[in-house]
Chains A and B, each alone.
Chain A
Amino acid sequence: MKEKSIDKATLQMMEKAKCDNVCTAFDRAAQQEPRCGFGELGVCCQQCYMGPCRVDPLGKGAQYGACGIDADGIVARNIARNTAIGASAHSDHGRDVAHNLYMTSQGKAQGYEIKDPVKLMYVAEELSVDTSSGDVKKIAAEVAHKCMAEFGKQEGELIMAQRAPEKQKERWRKLKVMPRGVDREIVEVLHMVHMGMDADYRNLLMFAIKAGLSDGWGGSMIATDLTDIQFGSPNPLRSKANLGVLGENTVNILVHGHEPTLSEMIVKVARTPEMKALAKKKGAEDITVAGICCTANEILMRQGAPLAGNYLMQELAIVTGAVESMVVDVQCIMPGITQVAPCYHTKIITTSKKARIPGAVHYQFEEERAVDIARQIVTESIENYSNRKRDRVQIPKESSDLIAGFTTENVFYHLGGKFRPSFKPLNEGMIQGRLRGVVGVVGCNNTKVVHDYNHVNFVKELLKHDVLVVTTGCSAGCLAKHGFLDPEGGLQYCGNGLKEICVAVGIPPVLHLGSCVDNSRILTACIEMVKEGGIGTDLSQLPVAGSAPEAMSSKATSIALYVAASGIAVHFYPPFQVHGSKKVTEYLTSEMEKDFGAYFIFEGDPKKAAQKIIAHLDKKREALKLKPMMYPPLNGETDKKAAEKQAAVSKS
């Protein structure tokens, strides 16, 4: 495909960028070609100053690094280090949320409150915090403390990991990958990848998995639960996605990054009459706060704030010329934005001490002054409205309707009402053959893949085959833009069984679960499926799978490892940089199943990848002796097997 994206708004802005002589990630990525083959295969080692060393994957040149490490060791080390980085990013995010909850409980955080005391009590009980007092602040303080203690815990097992089904936990204990404390596991991996440490690829992978599990069942899970407690558990709500959400005549503030703490406050402040009045005074009709990346997902899930775009659109959003400010916190923020912004009037505002960018204005975020900072940022953005160069403004008209705000907890209600809350209709859907299974499609964008192409085509193929999709992160952003989150429009892609379920419940076929730390919701939802019964006693028996079809970050590595180690097969593309080692590749794509009940699929063609996932779901269905699928796939193509089975049943 010649085009670099399948999103019209993106293409329009790429064209505009070209006219405006602005360089974006798409151009810079092209300039990086050809990529270093050693790096791509993961056989380049930079762990010490004797290096960089590299091993010839074709077996002709050097087979060992200067210290004697072989390709397997190098590849495994690189993946392990990558996992540690990703796990620490999610976990530090979780820690910040816990800190914010603690400050709020102490009355030290300006403008914050505890919005979901019910979930607070639930989590408190789980953490063995005494709830008899009913004192929300006191309990919140203890919950926050206990969660923070999980990071530095040296012994025992992570408390949240206890949520996993028994069989799962036994497996982890046997393989010695049950995480003790979040930081403990990450530091251990970092130690192991130091020069002259572990050279045994299998051992390295086990410790990487352990660090990954400390993310999924630790840092990320804490982030999700505490964010729900503090900012309210999401409920289904309406919004819109794509650059068309930017207002022609409104002050446009883009929040970008990952954490909800400041962005929630910016949304809150921007909605006050005081700020609205100021905006009017400055000639704007209103204020639009829209998001990019996972910050977008956080404020979308809880506040219904519109989603401007996903990862690869962060610079293009500025190219519209209609953005007064882009406020960023942590993770996935391209330094390139401060190169694009000067071409327009946009102010780049950094807010985290951990993520400063040359050329940006910095407002250090502090819980104690959150409202003041938010007000300052919003005010400054409003002030900047008059600097907008009208002749340089071009806002694409694309924006799609969407429903977001699904959580493990609210699925109970939506499947049974207040009086019969239950997961049963979901499990029944799979048992009876209306639903083939559930697949989590998550992750980023990557310039190596045509923007959005893999997400869209992978999901289309799944829906056709009656697979319910849950989504988070930039994948959710993509699927929202392309209409899959619209309960009416989404139906056109569904097989008949999936359609019956969607129509019965009133949901789109793709359910938005939140940001990338909210992948933990996929784990908790799977636990509830196991509890409801009839489709397996362990996550690895469920007809479920995960996919990151346009993966980019180290966080994706960590997520993929913890998901697979939790027994859920993972499709991942572009592949882990492991193909320089046959053994590591072999372990991940096959042997891993014996240990963890799941494995990796590295497949670039989204349709083929979906078919492999479908075959995987069918294998699980067969093992569980679930009913044959009720309907042949939409359009009748592919999946001859299902059609044959159908024929066999009706014939007999």
Chain B
Amino acid sequence: MSKIVASAAIRGAHSWAEEAEAALKQAIESKGESQKLEFPETAFFLPMAYSLLGMEVKDLAGAKKIMARVRSLLPPVPSEKVWLPYLGPTLDAGIATLLSTEMITALRYLRGELPAQGDQGFISDTILRSLGIQLVDGRMPGFAAILGSAPTNEIAVKVVRELQQRNILVFLCDNNDGKTMRQQLEQEKVELGWDTYIVPLGSDLVSGIYALNWAMRGALTFGGHKRGEFVKCLEYQRDRVFAFGLVFGEVTDRRYAVGAGAINMGFCVIADTDIPEIRPTGVTLFEALVRERNYDKIVPTCIQTRGVKVKVEKVPIPVNYAAAFEGERVRKEQLAVEFGGKASVAFEWLRMKSLDQVEDGKITVVGPDVDTVPDGKSLPIAIIVDVAGRKMQRDFEPILERQIHHLINGAMGVMHVGQRDIVWIRMSKDAKAKGFKARHFGDILHVKLLQNFPSIADKVQVTIYTKKEDVEKLLAEAKKSYAERDARVAGMTDESVDTFYSCTLCQSFAPSHVCMISPERLGLCGAYNWLDGKAAFEINPTGPNQPVVKGETIDPVKGQWDNVNKFVYQKSSKKIEKFNAYSLMESPMTSCGCFECIVAIVPEANGVMIVNREYNGMTPSGMTFSTLASTTGGGLQTPGFLGVGKLYVTSRKFISADGGLARVVWMPKDLKETVRERLEARAKEVGLDDFLNKIADETVCDNAGDLLPFLEKVGHPALTMPPMF
């Protein structure tokens, strides 16, 4: 709060208080202290006084008590030099203003001075119930209180239309030199009223209180807070009611005072004049007082400053959009145009950018569009998504990027396979006929990323390139970024971090199962590695991925830590007392049911077999995958059976307490191929020669009887290792 602002707001608060005191004095003189005082149609008395002071004021005697409190809140104006801290006092002055303006308006009703025709005045509890709930549950993203009139009718219309488009409720109050924004809009034939989300409250500044004491009642009605719980009521406003003030014209002392009241409620103020800004955060979510002289930017500035999350209900594309279309294939005969696969060069790349580098909703297509290509042919494509957000981090890039797959797949007649530079997108003739174009990829990503990740994505812009030279040039850059991301996880070991991440996503069907994700052991479903867990926690701090500080190491070989045990014990409803991250045989990790593979002991061979979900034949354990799964899953510790992610097989920590990779005697051929490269590298690392060929697969045998002779023939290391139990 700059001193200029503080001084003005405090002066303003004094002036409001004096006006309220004078009006009250006059009312008492003419009607006596027992005269009833109330707003129409509310059960909350004078709502500000009720919520902030806990006072049930019904008459002028009670009103006197409010004004006594107001007096005690009014601070002196900061001195010219050697001033004392003024933020606290100014916020107090704001509260005094809220109470005083409420008093002034209540006394108007008492005197029978009703709002002018077409002005709303006090907002009843009925409207609160019908519209307020939309405001606090997010259907209505927020409200704007506009003070004064715009410099031109054109700007007035533009600003209001921009807010309307975003479903933001607009309250109008105050005037500049007698001219109100209501008049401006009426001259331009803009329809006003609750139905169009544009509500004139009154032609003077004091009417602004109607919006504020309406919002305040939300904390009592929907927030369940009690009267007098001022901290809770005000924080509810900051956290749930995304309101802001937009001031046109000079910011007078009295306007500053009302602004200080709004800031107490966590509502920021944006002005179109050259005022001193208050940028530090804490009282408000983001900046408290901001100037914006550019009318093209004024609404986006409001939205960004208050952190209003505008939801677009429908994805603006010419084909249907739903999760139901995700699995749909586009066959050759239906093919209009394809990108990537083997047909052309294609990739997707999501990048973090700073807030000022991203224009929200900007979709650009550079190069020929889909209608320039004959059916069945291909185009190169680069889909570059730039995301900015106050809480966005580099670590979130791959997670958001991975969403592109299922987001684009949701469009009817569009097929999306793969990711990064192995992406393959097909569009059907039907989709093309309905008018689907390249830019619609951007529309989908813009709307859905904002919708699905409101806490981290504030702005999304998408650029699509379809010229080969552009795509190839950008691909080189993207590849650098992919490599950087990979390197970030590759270099990490369980020892190099002090925190693991839990995953309890599957507790709905395996209530005692707790996944513990470490850098060298990804989740058993294969979908979450350590960085994902970390990012997921930051995206949703109360979600299923929680950080677990390892604590004291109990057993470095088996992988057991003090805090991990405590956490697992607590989160498994006290079912699992301890677990060893690196052992199959002793207190292994539980499995839910989503594992990519099962590791199972083959006692005859003194080793283990690994079977993946996709393999439906018989295995040397005498059981198929699905039979094994029923033994392994369900959140129980079953020594000898373990659900794992595919990549874990090649980890340094793969059942390292039981002998590690050298124990693997059998796995299906497909699985072997999938992990071949990594497996070979890992085998070489531990000095196992020609190891892959020593692992049997279904082409060698599918039972234990035939397995042993093979192992003996190839000289499998497991045979000479210490007994597994």
Tell me if A415 and B282 are in contact (CB < 8 A). yes
With A425-B282, A503-B3, A506-B3 known as contacts, the answer to whether A417 contacts B352 (CB < 8 A) is no
Chain B residue contacts of A529, Cβ below 8 A? none
- 24 pairs, CB–CB < 8 Å, chain A vs chain B: A237-B84, A402-B82, A414-B87, A415-B87, A415-B282, A417-B87, A417-B264, A418-B73, A418-B88, A419-B91, A420-B234, A421-B231, A422-B283, A425-B87, A425-B281, A428-B281, A500-B280, A503-B3, A505-B86, A506-B1, A506-B85, A506-B86, A507-B85, A652-B354
Q: In the complex, which residue of chain B has the Cβ closest to the Cβ of A401? A: B82
A429 contacts the other chain (Cβ, under 8 Å)?
yes
Question: How distant is the Cα of A257 from the Cα of B288 in the complex, in angstroms?
Answer: 45
For the A-B complex with A414-B85, A417-B88 known, give 10 more contacts whose Cβ atoms are closer than 8 Å. A236-B84, A403-B82, A417-B95, A419-B264, A428-B282, A503-B1, A503-B2, A504-B2, A505-B85, A650-B354
Chain B residue contacts of A428, Cβ below 8 A? 280-282
Question: How distant is the Cα of A505 from the Cα of B81 in the complex, in angstroms?
Answer: 15
Chain A residue contacts of B279, Cβ below 8 A? 500, 504
Tell me if A236 and B85 are in contact (CB < 8 A). yes
Chain B residue contacts of A505, Cβ below 8 A? 1, 85-87
B295 contacts the other chain (Cβ, under 8 Å)?
no
How many Å from the CB of B91 to the closest CB on chain A?
A: 3
How many Å from the CB of B286 to the closest CB on chain A?
A: 9
Q: In the complex, which residue of chain A has the Cβ closest to the Cβ of B90? A: A417
A427 contacts the other chain (Cβ, under 8 Å)?
yes
The proximity string for B residues 267-289 relative to A, scoring 1 for CB distances below 8 Å and 0 otherwise, is 00000000000111111000010
Question: How distant is the Cα of A488 from the Cα of B81 in the complex, in angstroms?
Answer: 7
Chain A residue contacts of B283, Cβ below 8 A? 415-416, 420, 422, 424-425
Q: In the complex, which residue of chain A has the Cβ closest to the Cβ of B1? A: A504
Q: How many residues on chain A are close to B (CB under 8 Å)?
A: 37
A: which residues have CB within 8 A of B? 236-238, 401-403, 413-422, 424-429, 432, 434, 486-488, 500-501, 503-507, 649-650, 652
Chain A residue contacts of B3, Cβ below 8 A? 503, 506
The proximity string for B residues 339-379 relative to A, scoring 1 for CB distances below 8 Å and 0 otherwise, is 00000000000011110000000000000000000000000
Question: How distant is the Cα of A231 from the Cα of B95 in the complex, in angstroms?
Answer: 30
Q: In the complex, which residue of chain A has the Cβ closest to the Cβ of B391? A: A627
Q: In the complex, which residue of chain A has the Cβ closest to the Cβ of B278? A: A504
Contact partner of B354 among A402, A503, A649, CB < 8 A? A649
How many Å from the CB of B437 to the closest CB on chain A?
A: 29
Question: How distant is the Cα of A417 from the Cα of B91 in the complex, in angstroms?
Answer: 5
With A420-B264, A429-B280, A652-B352 known as contacts, the answer to whether A506 contacts B83 (CB < 8 A) is yes
Tell me if B1 and A417 are in contact (CB < 8 A). no
B337 contacts the other chain (Cβ, under 8 Å)?
no
Tell me if A416 and B82 are in contact (CB < 8 A). no
B478 contacts the other chain (Cβ, under 8 Å)?
no
With A236-B84, A506-B86 known as contacts, the answer to whether A501 contacts B280 (CB < 8 A) is yes
Question: How distant is the Cα of A424 from the Cα of B91 in the complex, in angstroms?
Answer: 15
Closest CB pairs A-B (n = 3): A425-B282, A417-B91, A506-B86
Question: How distant is the Cα of A415 from the Cα of B82 in the complex, in angstroms?
Answer: 19
Contact partner of B87 among A488, A504, A650, CB < 8 A? A504
Tell me if B354 and A419 are in contact (CB < 8 A). no
- Which chain B residues in 230-273 approach chain A with CB under 8 Å? 230-231, 234-235, 264
How many Å from the CB of B717 to the closest CB on chain A?
A: 40
B21 contacts the other chain (Cβ, under 8 Å)?
no
B697 contacts the other chain (Cβ, under 8 Å)?
no
Q: In the complex, which residue of chain A has the Cβ closest to the Cβ of B281? A: A428
B89 contacts the other chain (Cβ, under 8 Å)?
yes
Tell me if A416 and B83 are in contact (CB < 8 A). no
Question: How distant is the Cα of A487 from the Cα of B82 in the complex, in angstroms?
Answer: 6
Question: How distant is the Cα of A500 from the Cα of B279 in the complex, in angstroms?
Answer: 7
Contact partner of B351 among A402, A413, A415, A652, CB < 8 A? A652
- Which chain B residues in 80-121 approach chain A with CB under 8 Å? 81-92, 94-95
Chain B residue contacts of A413, Cβ below 8 A? 88
B592 contacts the other chain (Cβ, under 8 Å)?
no
Tell me if B83 and A487 are in contact (CB < 8 A). yes
Question: How distant is the Cα of A402 from the Cα of B2 in the complex, in angstroms?
Answer: 19
B600 contacts the other chain (Cβ, under 8 Å)?
no
Tell me if B234 and A506 are in contact (CB < 8 A). no
Q: In the complex, which residue of chain A has the Cβ closest to the Cβ of B230? A: A419
Tell me if A416 and B351 are in contact (CB < 8 A). no
Chain B residue contacts of A504, Cβ below 8 A? 1-2, 87, 278-280, 288
Q: Which of A402, A488, A505, A650 has the most CB of B within 10 A?
A: A505
Q: In the complex, which residue of chain B has the Cβ closest to the Cβ of A235? A: B84
Q: Which of A415, A426, A506, A649 has the most CB of B within 10 A?
A: A506
With A401-B81, A429-B280 known as contacts, the answer to whether A416 contacts B88 (CB < 8 A) is yes
How many Å from the CB of B388 to the closest CB on chain A?
A: 11
Question: How distant is the Cα of A222 from the Cα of B88 in the complex, in angstroms?
Answer: 28
Chain A residue contacts of B37, Cβ below 8 A? none
Question: How distant is the Cα of A418 from the Cα of B280 in the complex, in angstroms?
Answer: 19
Chain A residue contacts of B278, Cβ below 8 A? 504
With A506-B6, A652-B351, A652-B353 known as contacts, the answer to whether A419 contacts B231 (CB < 8 A) is yes
Question: How distant is the Cα of A432 from the Cα of B282 in the complex, in angstroms?
Answer: 10
Tell me if B91 and A420 are in contact (CB < 8 A). yes
Q: In the complex, which residue of chain A has the Cβ closest to the Cβ of B84? A: A236
- Which chain B residues in 106-141 approach chain A with CB under 8 Å? none
With A424-B282, A428-B280, A501-B280 known as contacts, the answer to whether A506 contacts B91 (CB < 8 A) is no
Question: How distant is the Cα of A200 from the Cα of B601 in the complex, in angstroms?
Answer: 54
Question: How distant is the Cα of A650 from the Cα of B353 in the complex, in angstroms?
Answer: 8
B181 contacts the other chain (Cβ, under 8 Å)?
no
Tell me if B88 and A238 are in contact (CB < 8 A). no
Q: In the complex, which residue of chain B has the Cβ closest to the Cβ of A497? A: B280
Chain B residue contacts of A419, Cβ below 8 A? 52, 91-92, 95, 230-231, 234, 264
Tell me if B282 and A429 are in contact (CB < 8 A). yes
Tell me if A238 and B2 are in contact (CB < 8 A). no
B78 contacts the other chain (Cβ, under 8 Å)?
yes
How many Å from the CB of B264 to the closest CB on chain A?
A: 6
Tell me if B354 and A506 are in contact (CB < 8 A). no
Tell me if A486 and B85 are in contact (CB < 8 A). no
Q: In the complex, which residue of chain B has the Cβ closest to the Cβ of A167? A: B549
Chain A residue contacts of B288, Cβ below 8 A? 504
Chain A residue contacts of B231, Cβ below 8 A? 419-421
Tell me if A432 and B88 are in contact (CB < 8 A). no
Tell me if A422 and B282 are in contact (CB < 8 A). yes
Question: How distant is the Cα of A402 from the Cα of B81 in the complex, in angstroms?
Answer: 10
Question: How distant is the Cα of A426 from the Cα of B280 in the complex, in angstroms?
Answer: 9
Tell me if B82 and A488 are in contact (CB < 8 A). yes
Chain B residue contacts of A427, Cβ below 8 A? 282
Question: How distant is the Cα of A138 from the Cα of B78 in the complex, in angstroms?
Answer: 40
Tell me if B82 and A486 are in contact (CB < 8 A). yes
Question: How distant is the Cα of A425 from the Cα of B3 in the complex, in angstroms?
Answer: 17
Tell me if A238 and B84 are in contact (CB < 8 A). yes
Question: How distant is the Cα of A415 from the Cα of B283 in the complex, in angstroms?
Answer: 8
Question: How distant is the Cα of A416 from the Cα of B94 in the complex, in angstroms?
Answer: 11
Chain B residue contacts of A401, Cβ below 8 A? 81-82
How many Å from the CB of B51 to the closest CB on chain A?
A: 10
Tell me if A425 and B280 are in contact (CB < 8 A). yes
How many Å from the CB of B494 to the closest CB on chain A?
A: 19
How many Å from the CB of B406 to the closest CB on chain A?
A: 27
Chain A residue contacts of B281, Cβ below 8 A? 425, 428-429, 432
How many Å from the CB of A408 to the closest CB on chain B?
A: 15
Tell me if A426 and B1 are in contact (CB < 8 A). no
Question: How distant is the Cα of A246 from the Cα of B289 in the complex, in angstroms?
Answer: 44
Question: How distant is the Cα of A238 from the Cα of B235 in the complex, in angstroms?
Answer: 33
Chain A residue contacts of B351, Cβ below 8 A? 652
Chain A residue contacts of B94, Cβ below 8 A? 417
Q: In the complex, which residue of chain A has the Cβ closest to the Cβ of B394? A: A652
Q: In the complex, which residue of chain B has the Cβ closest to the Cβ of A625? A: B393
Contact partner of A417 among B82, B84, B92, B280, CB < 8 A? B92
Question: How distant is the Cα of A169 from the Cα of B379 in the complex, in angstroms?
Answer: 64
Tell me if A420 and B81 are in contact (CB < 8 A). no
Tell me if B2 and A415 are in contact (CB < 8 A). no
Tell me if A420 and B280 are in contact (CB < 8 A). no
Question: How distant is the Cα of A428 from the Cα of B288 in the complex, in angstroms?
Answer: 13
